[in-house]
Structure 1
């Protein structure tokens, strides 16, 4: 009973974080298009360490996810880690953690060392791994989970004693053995060390193989999508595999939310997507998912966090604002969209 009371108090205190107002190029917009109607006991906390794709160093794709039953997170990609933790600390994202801080570390070091249990890396592009690389000299020992092709890319491209020192336990000597590199098998469920979470990976279509991670805690699920193109453009059918899996799992489990990318607005031509989504393509994919879900009443309770919006140096309306409007106009099925914002804490 105490666990449920505690969860309710956390939810009440942080639910306001689901809708915040931010400024970008002096244009204000609401980061949430809708609010969740769910009355279910919350299960996960998601902290945004980096919300953009592309060129904005210090705010690149990275999230922390934990079960509300514990205080250790798994990092979902790692484009910005230490700077993302700093921003999240200022926004109070970690204020509900009850464990005593480490007196030998600053607040950001305490989060990185004592609360980030593992990394899940979707693919090896720099805007998804730069934060991990630059933090590695002062990071502590923890596992890196990824598909084999992703781990091979990380070793060959970065942890090679040329781009960066080899902080892992495989590859070129000397191996510094800080990170235990663990290959995941597509569509096979594995436990995440140091947490009560499991992960089931799915391959995604991208110029470099990418990954979606279905993360579970008991009967609750959350899905993180790395970079991905739509099935109709990529012609590989990989998103359809995930939609079928999720719809089948939802017969007995609760899908609390997902993080999925929308890199460009609808003006972007298909031949220049380079393995990414637009609002139009996301809605087409979600429509396919919707059609597979047996109990349609579950849909309004699925929080869909939009990530990886490409930062633009061009004057005029920000891409975030344009994409928000396009999603809102196309959302006829009742999904709850939230635009990711660095430092944001969401309870699902």
Structure 2
């Protein structure tokens, strides 16, 4: 009897551990334009840790203020920025993904800015350049204030992040070719979270960047190690293909999810959390995208529409 109870306890404990979230994510900004106080930025950390990385940095302070008001931090937003945000991972250098980083730099503490070389070169040459803003980095125009350190990433190579328990891989994306963007695959122990910056569909971009990414993460999905995908849907179906400018619509997202599902195995994406980012808030876009995605969800994805300053767990 004691042996039987011990086995049951072991099974229950194993199941509870398997269901325990590996990551916590705090959206600091979720929109794809118009509202400068709510642009792409997501804090991510392992469960139980207060050391975060910031995936894109369109909005920082306004999002941190909302997180503080929601009880996610017990200290002022500025202190969270300086003490808890350990590094930035920038997918591409469009202003709606870097404005918060630039504007908050005078009050920030020393950190590393990670990204693929094309991205860091623009930040160095166009933003922290003394022509548009003081050079708070340790490269570029002189004088260099040396607050930030640029760390160019090599595609697919795992990069450990100092002062955190995370490592991150970068994968190039096509964002209105020939312009580029980046997907970041974040690892905590044996769990992974995939964050995509702005991206067009392979069929529209004439690219295979998303296919290569799905081929990389399909084994993780099959092994139940991929906890969530953060991916954009900027426009509703009504947006003409010639005016997508390197973005997705609901049907294009679903086409990409079907590709991932076919690579990972039958019904592999069922119940997978898919966080919809970068919705353009113009007109009726948000309601239309929500309705269209829900109606097209034959794969039974767990669609999540994030809210600024509200905690997500995966």
Corresponding residue number in structure 2 for 1:14 = none
* SS in structure 1 at match of 2:19: coil
Q: Which runs of 5+ in 2 are unaligned?
A: 1-12
The within-5 A match list for 1:1-348 is 40-94=19-73, 107-207=76-176, 208-252=179-223, 254-294=225-265, 296=267, 298-312=268-282, 314=283, 318-348=284-314
Displacement, 1:300? Answer: 3.3
Residues in 1 aligned to 2:38 and 2:196: alpha-carbon distance in whole angstroms: 18
Displacement, 1:251? Answer: 4.5
Aligned length: 299
Structure 1 contact 221–253 (Cα < 8 Å) conserved: no
Displacement, 1:71? Answer: 1.1
Structure 1 contact 122–211 (Cα < 8 Å) conserved: yes
* SS in structure 2 at match of 1:299: coil
Q: Which one has more relative contact order, counting CA pairs under 8 Å at least 6 apart?
A: 1
Residues in 1 aligned to 2:169 and 2:300: alpha-carbon distance in whole angstroms: 27
Displacement, 1:93? Answer: 2.9
Corresponding residue number in structure 1 for 2:5 = none
Structure 1 contact 219–253 (Cα < 8 Å) conserved: no
Residues in 1 aligned to 2:249 and 2:281: alpha-carbon distance in whole angstroms: 14
* SS in structure 2 at match of 1:204: strand
* SS in structure 1 at match of 2:149: strand
Distance change (3 Å), C-alpha of 1:40 and 1:114:
same
C-alpha RMSD over aligned residues = 1.8
Q: CA offsets, 1:204-257, max 9 Å, x none?
A: 001431000000011100011000000000011100001010012334451110
Residues in 2 aligned to 1:240 and 1:58: alpha-carbon distance in whole angstroms: 33
* SS in structure 2 at match of 1:250: helix
Residues in 2 aligned to 1:267 and 1:331: alpha-carbon distance in whole angstroms: 18
* SS in structure 2 at match of 1:123: coil
Structure 1 contact 219–252 (Cα < 8 Å) conserved: no
Residues in 1 aligned to 2:222 and 2:190: alpha-carbon distance in whole angstroms: 11
> When the two structures are superposed, what TM-score results if normalisation uses the length of structure 2?
0.91
Q: Which runs of 5+ in 1 are unaligned?
A: 9-37, 96-100, 102-106
Distance change (3 Å), C-alpha of 1:52 and 1:170:
same
> When the two structures are superposed, what TM-score results if normalisation uses the length of structure 1?
0.83
